[in-house]
Protein backbone atom coordinates (compact mmCIF):
# COMPACT_ATOMS: atom_id res chain seq x y z
CA UNK A 1 0.00 0.00 0.00
CA UNK A 2 2.86 2.40 0.78
CA UNK A 3 5.45 0.80 -1.51
CA UNK A 4 6.20 4.16 -3.12
CA UNK A 5 7.46 5.45 0.24
CA UNK A 6 9.40 2.23 0.94
CA UNK A 7 11.10 2.57 -2.45
CA UNK A 8 12.38 6.02 -1.42
CA UNK A 9 14.12 4.82 1.74
CA UNK A 10 17.87 5.43 1.44
CA UNK A 11 18.71 2.04 2.99
CA UNK A 12 19.28 -1.21 1.19
CA UNK A 13 19.96 -4.82 2.04
CA UNK A 14 21.23 -5.52 5.55
CA UNK A 15 20.54 -2.03 6.94
CA UNK A 16 16.92 -1.51 5.94
CA UNK A 17 14.73 -2.16 8.97
CA UNK A 18 11.25 -1.62 7.51
CA UNK A 19 9.13 -4.49 6.17
CA UNK A 20 5.68 -2.91 5.99
CA UNK A 21 3.97 0.42 6.54
CA UNK A 22 0.42 -0.25 7.75
CA UNK A 23 -0.72 3.33 8.41
CA UNK A 24 0.63 6.67 7.27
CA UNK A 25 -0.77 10.18 7.32
CA UNK A 26 0.34 13.70 8.24
CA UNK A 27 0.05 12.91 11.96
CA UNK A 28 2.10 9.75 12.15
CA UNK A 29 3.10 6.33 10.91
CA UNK A 30 2.78 2.69 11.91
CA UNK A 31 4.98 -0.04 10.51
CA UNK A 32 6.67 -3.32 11.33
CA UNK A 33 9.89 -5.23 10.96
CA UNK A 34 10.81 -8.84 11.66
CA UNK A 35 14.34 -9.29 12.96
CA UNK A 36 16.08 -11.94 10.86
CA UNK A 37 17.96 -14.51 12.97
CA UNK A 38 20.85 -14.46 10.45
CA UNK A 39 21.39 -10.67 10.74
CA UNK A 40 25.04 -9.63 10.99
CA UNK A 41 24.74 -8.10 14.47
CA UNK A 42 23.64 -11.34 16.18
CA UNK A 43 26.90 -13.15 15.44
CA UNK A 44 28.81 -11.40 18.23
CA UNK A 45 26.04 -9.85 20.37
CA UNK A 46 26.12 -12.03 22.45
CA UNK A 47 27.94 -15.24 21.49
CA UNK A 48 25.65 -18.18 22.21
CA UNK A 49 22.82 -15.92 23.44
CA UNK A 50 21.93 -13.41 20.69
CA UNK A 51 20.09 -10.24 21.72
CA UNK A 52 19.21 -7.29 19.48
CA UNK A 53 21.57 -4.38 20.24
CA UNK A 54 19.94 -1.18 21.51
CA UNK A 55 21.41 0.74 18.60
CA UNK A 56 19.52 -1.53 16.17
CA UNK A 57 16.28 -1.06 18.13
CA UNK A 58 16.90 2.69 17.92
CA UNK A 59 17.56 2.45 14.19
CA UNK A 60 14.34 0.50 13.56
CA UNK A 61 12.38 3.10 15.50
CA UNK A 62 14.08 5.91 13.59
CA UNK A 63 13.63 4.41 10.13
CA UNK A 64 9.93 3.70 10.60
CA UNK A 65 9.01 6.47 13.03
CA UNK A 66 11.00 9.38 11.66
CA UNK A 67 12.43 8.75 8.18
CA UNK A 68 9.30 7.19 6.62
CA UNK A 69 7.14 9.99 7.99
CA UNK A 70 9.59 12.66 6.87
CA UNK A 71 9.72 11.27 3.32
CA UNK A 72 5.91 11.29 3.25
CA UNK A 73 5.70 14.86 4.56
CA UNK A 74 8.39 16.12 2.18
CA UNK A 75 6.70 14.48 -0.80
CA UNK A 76 3.39 16.16 0.14
CA UNK A 77 5.19 19.51 0.42
CA UNK A 78 6.91 19.09 -2.94
CA UNK A 79 3.79 17.80 -4.66
CA UNK A 80 5.79 15.23 -6.62
CA UNK A 81 9.09 13.42 -6.60
CA UNK A 82 11.79 15.46 -8.28
CA UNK A 83 14.27 12.59 -8.56
CA UNK A 84 16.26 13.75 -5.57
CA UNK A 85 17.57 11.35 -2.95
CA UNK A 86 16.39 11.58 0.65
CA UNK A 87 19.18 11.90 3.19
CA UNK A 88 18.24 11.57 6.89
CA UNK A 89 20.21 13.28 9.64
CA UNK A 90 19.38 12.65 13.29
CA UNK A 91 19.65 15.57 15.63
CA UNK A 92 18.59 13.91 18.89
CA UNK A 93 17.03 10.87 20.53
CA UNK A 94 15.82 10.25 24.05
CA UNK A 95 14.81 6.60 24.43
CA UNK A 96 13.94 4.34 27.32
CA UNK A 97 14.18 0.57 26.85
CA UNK A 98 11.75 -1.76 28.59
CA UNK A 99 12.30 -5.21 27.11
CA UNK A 100 14.83 -7.28 25.14
CA UNK A 101 14.22 -8.17 21.51
CA UNK A 102 15.34 -11.60 20.36
CA UNK A 103 16.14 -12.88 16.85
CA UNK A 104 13.04 -13.69 14.81
CA UNK A 105 10.72 -11.32 16.70
CA UNK A 106 8.33 -9.07 14.81
CA UNK A 107 8.18 -5.53 16.18
CA UNK A 108 5.70 -2.76 15.46
CA UNK A 109 6.62 0.90 15.57
CA UNK A 110 4.05 3.65 16.12
CA UNK A 111 5.07 7.28 15.69
CA UNK A 112 3.14 10.45 16.40
CA UNK A 113 4.33 13.72 14.92
CA UNK A 114 5.01 16.46 17.46
CA UNK A 115 5.99 19.04 14.84
CA UNK A 116 7.42 19.45 11.36
CA UNK A 117 8.74 22.89 10.53
CA UNK A 118 11.81 24.50 9.00
CA UNK A 119 12.90 21.08 7.76
CA UNK A 120 12.98 19.54 11.23
CA UNK A 121 10.72 16.69 12.34
CA UNK A 122 10.12 15.68 15.95
CA UNK A 123 8.15 12.53 16.81
CA UNK A 124 7.16 10.49 19.84
CA UNK A 125 7.92 6.87 18.91
CA UNK A 126 7.01 3.56 20.57
CA UNK A 127 8.02 0.00 19.72
CA UNK A 128 5.81 -2.96 20.63
CA UNK A 129 6.24 -6.74 20.33
CA UNK A 130 3.65 -9.16 18.94
CA UNK A 131 2.19 -9.63 22.45
CA UNK A 132 1.61 -5.85 22.67
CA UNK A 133 4.31 -5.44 25.29
CA UNK A 134 6.22 -2.15 25.16
CA UNK A 135 9.83 -2.63 24.08
CA UNK A 136 11.01 0.99 23.90
CA UNK A 137 9.70 4.53 23.68
CA UNK A 138 11.11 7.97 23.21
CA UNK A 139 11.41 11.25 21.36
CA UNK A 140 13.23 11.44 18.03
CA UNK A 141 14.26 14.56 16.14
CA UNK A 142 15.91 14.87 12.80
CA UNK A 143 16.36 16.70 9.59
CA UNK A 144 15.59 14.93 6.35
CA UNK A 145 16.86 16.70 3.28
CA UNK A 146 16.38 16.00 -0.38
CA UNK A 147 19.74 16.01 -2.10
CA UNK A 148 20.45 15.77 -5.82
CA UNK A 149 23.17 13.09 -5.92
CA UNK A 150 24.90 12.43 -9.21
CA UNK A 151 25.30 8.71 -9.76
Distance of alpha carbon 63 from alpha carbon 33, whole angstroms = 10
CB 93 within 8 Å of CB 138: yes
List phi, psi (to 5°) of 138: 170, 180
Distance of alpha carbon 82 from alpha carbon 77, whole angstroms = 12
Residue among 20, 45, 106, 120 flagged as catalytic: 45
Distance of alpha carbon 137 from alpha carbon 117, whole angstroms = 23
- List the Cα angle 122/56/28 in 5-degree steps: 30
Distance of alpha carbon 54 from alpha carbon 69, whole angstroms = 22
Examine the residue annotation and report whether 45 is marked as an active-site residue of this protein.
Answer: yes
**Residues labelled as active-site residues:** 45
Amino acid sequence: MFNDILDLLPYKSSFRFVDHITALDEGGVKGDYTLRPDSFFYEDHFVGNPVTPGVIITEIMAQIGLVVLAIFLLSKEAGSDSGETTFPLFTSTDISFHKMVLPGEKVTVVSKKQYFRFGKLKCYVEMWDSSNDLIAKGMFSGIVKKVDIKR
